[in-house]
């Protein structure tokens, strides 16, 4: 784990959503959202991080701010040695829910957006954080982080790791060590990928 003495949280640039996604009305969240949140970070990054849904991103005055979930995630990635250019963050749902909605219908409606992203970005690794993201990605409503974390899985041909949601870590500090372990496992796999990519460039 790396020292965080010089680390500071930052607002990661968002990737603009495709026009067809901006106008999506396939579920009830279309009537709740202010805008579609496609993702943030480096679109060409080797690591795709999947969360459940976007949280608050602007103050009431419309000024951008970093929510606790993303700050905790950034801190953990930095401590594990994952650089800012090495990850991209997106969500099962591309809209922020602000009131009750049909969760299953919304996740099914948003699935094609996720498939489009993964088809375009072709990440080397995927990290699903939280039970909702894990269940959605694995296609198993009974899947749990507790049972799946700490080892690699292959889902749709993508090496996949699972970890606790950063918000759960903030609420239950005892989970911080477990999230750190999973991020270090991902960082080690990224390092293997970097070395392999370097060898391929030399050939």
What are residue 88's phi and psi, to 5 degrees?
A: -135, 135
pLDDT tens digits, the chain, 203 residues: what are they?
665 666 788 888 899 999 999 999 999 999 999 889 999 999 999 999 999 999 887 656 667 778 889 899 999 999 999 999 999 999 999 999 989 999 999 999 999 999 999 999 999 999 999 999 999 999 999 999 999 999 999 999 999 999 999 999 999 999 999 999 999 999 999 999 988 876 666 55
- pLDDT for position 2: 63
Q: What letter does residue 26 receive in the DSSP assignment?
A: S
Neighbouring C-alpha atoms within 13 Å toward the C-beta of 144 = 3
Handedness of CA 147, 109, 70, 167 (dihedral sign): negative
Query: What topology is assigned to 14-202 in CATH?
Result: Uracil-DNA Glycosylase, subunit E (3.40.470)
Residue linked to tokens 């990519």:
197
What digits encode the pLDDT tens for the residues 33-89? Answer: 988 999 999 999 999 999 999 988 765 666 777 888 989 999 999 999 999 999 999
CA angle 162, 48, 86 (to 5 degrees): 115
- pLDDT for position 55: 85
Where do the domains of the chain lie? 14-202
Q: Is 98 helix (H, G, I), strand (E, B) or coil?
A: coil
Q: Where are the beta strands (DSSP E) in 5-62?
A: 14-15, 39-41, 47-51
Q: Is 174 helix (H, G, I), strand (E, B) or coil?
A: helix
Alpha helices in 81-203 (DSSP H): 103-121, 131-138, 145-148, 166-171, 176-202
- pLDDT for position 113: 97
């Amino acid at each position: 784990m790396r020292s965080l003495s010089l680390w500071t949280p930052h607002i990661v640039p968002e990737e603009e959503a495709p026009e067809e996604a901006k106008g999506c009305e396939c579920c009830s969240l279309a009537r709740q959202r202010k805008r579609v949140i496609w993702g943030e970070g480096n679109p060409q990054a080797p690591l795709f991080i999947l969360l459940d849904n976007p949280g608050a991103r602007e103050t009431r005055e419309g000024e951008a701010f970093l929510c606790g979930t993303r700050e905790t995630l950034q801190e953990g990635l930095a401590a594990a040695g994952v650089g800012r250019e090495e990850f991209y963050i997106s969500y099962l749902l591309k809209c922020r829910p602000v009131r009750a909605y049909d969760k299953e219908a919304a996740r099914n409606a948003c699935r094609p957006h996720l498939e489009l992203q993964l088809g375009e970005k072709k990440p080397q690794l995927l990290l699903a954080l939280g039970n909702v993201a894990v269940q959605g990605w694995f296609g198993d409503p009974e899947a749990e982080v507790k049972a799946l974390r700490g080892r690699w899985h292959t889902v749709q041909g993508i090496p996949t790791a699972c970890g606790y949601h950063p918000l759960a870590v903030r609420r239950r500090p005892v989970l911080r060590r477990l999230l750190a372990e999973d991020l270090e496992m991902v960082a080690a796999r990224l390092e293997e990928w970097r070395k392999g990519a370097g060898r391929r460039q030399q050939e």
